[in-house]
Structure 1
Amino acid sequence: MKTKLIMVFLVYVIILNHLHATAQNHKNLDRDYVKKDSILWNEYEKRMDSIVRNIADRQKRKVDLIANLDETNRKNKELAISFKNSIGGIERIFMTRAQFSKTELKNVLESTSLRVRKTSAFKAIQDHLKIDQIKIGDLWPEHLMIVDTANLPIRLQKNITNIIIYNGSGMSDCMGESNRSELNKLAKDAQFSSRAKIYLFYNTENINTLKNINAKFNDHLAYTSDLTGDYSKFKIAMGSQAIPTVYIFNSDGKLEAIQLGVEDIITKWQNK
């Protein structure tokens, strides 16, 4: 009996040691990814600063800045794949999903660990693979339901241009104060309002958070969300990544353009 108890105890100790070692390996993996990711983007920013400081010719500077970004994006993708079994790695793969073919993404998911398969990022990538993302000429996805600050469903208005601006979590105003001010001027203009409507979309799970973002800026823009959080159904269906991303639906309800940044729409509508 005593021998059996000793054996049970030893097995228990072995299991505990294995679990501890596994947990430590996970921590090390997550920490290593964060460290290497930080180094990558710090190097990108240093090169960007150097280009801006040292290259006077605007066209040459633009070419070098784009080349720097392209090279960093390539390394970013490779790093995320090599750390696909870390939490940060799988999250980065979701964030950069547009850089992958769906076949590539499927292959990545099939080779991930059980721990990663339980994450929201993994499940969001699965959702991305299941549906076709919106493309130019498409109507608004019928399965998407977005609401305003009163938690009432939003329907795109007929016979006018509907402008939807994906603005992330709302933790920071990536549009910039001056751009937001110009958009607000447009929204207040009666002539503009008869021809177009501007909606700002935010990732949140809580209607009160949406209300707080609205109250913070206190402007005439329409604040909306689908209340499904960081891995929102909107974000997946619309292929949203960078902020702000602008989706322009024409008076026929079809997607006319997808643009990064709001400057072009401000200029266009100010000149109409």
Structure 2
Amino acid sequence: MCRPIYVYVLFRPKGPPVTRSPAPEPVADSPTLTPAQAFDALYAFCAPALVRQAYLLTGRRELARESVERAFQLVWQRWPEVARDPDPAGWVRAATYDYALSPWHRIRPRFRRSEPPPADAISRTLLDALLKLPPPYRRALLLYDGVGLGLPETAAETEASTPATANRLLHAREAIAARLPELANPAELHRRMAELASLERPRAARPPAVRTDSERRAAFWTRAAIAFTVTLIGTTALAMRTAPTHYEPPVAPGTMVQGVPPRVAPGSLSQRELALRAKLRQGTASGPERLLPQPR
């Protein structure tokens, strides 16, 4: 049995900072959901908005969709933990942002090509200004001026102090206002960011497909871990089988080495060796004479 999931709007209008209250206790006669049904409900509520937010973070439609799917695959793998979290939407949002802003995407061949920009000139300028911000600044600006979180909540989700988050927001707003002076007002900036996000509507996968991919990925990594463990055990067993079983101390200097045959003096030379020695002694001291062909 799974407890009901309470989520929050991810792209609400910007207003004064809102303090989240604890989730209400479920009513006794409220219908219970299976884990799959609760996951599908959370996915249906959060995925469309998260895809648009990931697009503002990355400027890539395919990467935005992949980030949301990978985040929900992680959610399904850790569903007991996420289901008991007071803010499951914030949990999956943080996982989506972490994957979308990963620096490893820069070396992936499929993401080296640039994507078509928005058709509107102001939207192109705003997206370009957002992508030129450092990733922590971009993330803080999207959470505060886009999603509408308060400053302490933004600082907690970005894992930064409140003063550092405030400085990031100020610098990000200044950079946006330098490119688009009409967006110096935070309310206007929020409206333009919402419009830019609504222009792109990439389709995310269906919840059953995400759950199936998550289970396949978990099974793959489980088999990989088992194979690695078996290989490690086999390597350890081979090393123990072939390694020496006792310690042999090195021979100290000046100690007589046992087991080495004694030196044997050379014996007498044979007739052939004596003739060869006499021939060598008759040659010049500076070296052998020059060889010349002799007629037969």
Band of TM-score, shorter chain: under 0.3
> Structure 1 or 2: larger helix share?
2
Whose radius of gyration is greater, 1 or 2? 2
If asked which structure has higher relative contact order (CA below 8 Å, sep 6+), I would say 2
TM-score by length of 2: 0.22
The structure richer in strand per residue is 1
